[in-house]
Amino acid sequence: MKNWWRGLSRRTKVFVYLGAFLLVCIGTFFIPHGKKENFQAANEFILTPIIKLPKIGPVDLSINKAVLYLWGVVVIIVAASFYINRKLLHSDKEEPGRLQIILEGLYDLARNSISNSVMRVGADTWFPYVSAAFTFVLLLNFLGLIPLPVGEHGQLAFYAASGNLYVTITLAACTFFLSHYAGVKAKGGLGYVKGWMVKGAPPVMRQFIFGTHVLSEMFRLVSLSVRLFANMLAGHMLLAVLFAMTLLFQSYFFAGVFSVGSVVIYLFEVFVAAIQAFIFAILSAVYIGGAIEEEH
């Protein structure tokens, strides 16, 4: 199959791509259409349980589409790990193929740009957590940009699982508790809390600096979670509004304009998804490294 594809000329390949694109465009006429409703931008984020399970205290265990997206990312990571292992272990090529180059680029990004450049002391110990956070958030964000059949009546729709405050606050809580755990493990309980005080300051200022430091540590949880949540929420609402505006004006000119604009904003959303994963990972590394390192 691969040899047949390589044997084609470039012109033929362009025609095949154009033909596939036209087929998809024409095929969209045959998708069964839903009923006419008023457009609400926030409809994407309403979660209805798909399989209802009982509540344990305040925690509702029902499975809705956010849960399915989270499980989907785990399945993708596990399956991709097995596939990559088999492919790279049993390849006897001289020079690295595309898969290896991409993966080595990602690993290099996580290892050198995130762990080694920011954490001075515990880079080797905490690299697994930082790279796991990076990969998880990256795949979660990217999965939100692929249309899957999770719409109200089973139609294709976008949904960002990281656009849910519960998901991001769980991820930020992992970083938060791990940073305090790392600090207590490295310096002992009292030594860690003493590290928040600045030594050579006048007495009243010392308490004030300590209080401000405690507040800023608590605020880290909020800021880390709300940053990811708000970026994904705002991005997807913008995409929903732009996609709807294509049809809302009932005019061919505006449909064309908004189609092009939607594609541009979609590409920007892909960029934002990657950046937010990177920032989440690198701020996790900064917080954990800041808790471990000695006084400056």
Partner 1 sequence: MSNHAAQLIAAGLCFGPGVIGAGAGLGILIGHAIDSIARQPEMQNDIRTLMFIGIGIVEALALYAIVFGLILLYVVK
Query: Does position 229 bind partner 1 by CB under 8 A?
Result: yes
Q: Does residue 111 bind partner 1 (CB under 8 A)?
A: no
Site for partner 1 (CB under 8 A): which residue of 231, 258, 273, 292?
A: 231
Segment interacting with partner 1 (CB under 8 A) among 6-14, 60-68, 220-228, 247-255: 220-228
47 binds partner 1 (CB under 8 A): no
Contact 159, 69 (CB under 8 A): yes
Q: Is 36 within 8 Å of 244 (Cβ atoms)?
A: no
Q: Which amino acid is at 55?
A: K
Asked if 273 touches partner 1 (CB under 8 A), the answer is no
Q: Which one among 115, 131, 164, 276 touches partner 1, defined by CB under 8 A?
A: 276
Which among 283, 81, 77 has a CA at the least distance from the CA of 168?
A: 283
Residue list 127-146, contact with partner 1 (CB under 8 A): none
Within 8 A by CB and 6+ apart from 201, the residues are 209
Query: ∠ at Cα 238 (160, 42), nearest 5°?
Result: 65
Nearest distance in Å: CB 226, partner 1: 6
| CA 119 from centre of chain | 22
Query: Contact, 145 vs 107, CB < 8 A?
Result: no
Q: Is there binding between residue 179 and partner 1 (CB under 8 A)?
A: no
- Go through 263-295 and write b for each residue having 16 or more CB atoms within 10 A of its CB, e for each that does not: eebbeebeebbeebbbbbbbbbbbbbbbbbbee
Q: By CB under 8 A, is residue 215 in contact with partner 1? A: no
Please, which residue, 176 or 192, has the CB nearer to partner 1? 176
- 66 or 187: CB nearest partner 1: 66
Q: Is 234 in the site for partner 1 (CB under 8 A)?
A: yes
Q: Which is nearer to partner 1, 140 or 187 (CB)?
A: 140
Which 8-state DSSP code applies to residue 276? H
List of residues contacting partner 1 (CB under 8 A): 42, 113, 117, 223, 226-227, 229-231, 233-234, 275-276, 278-279, 282-283
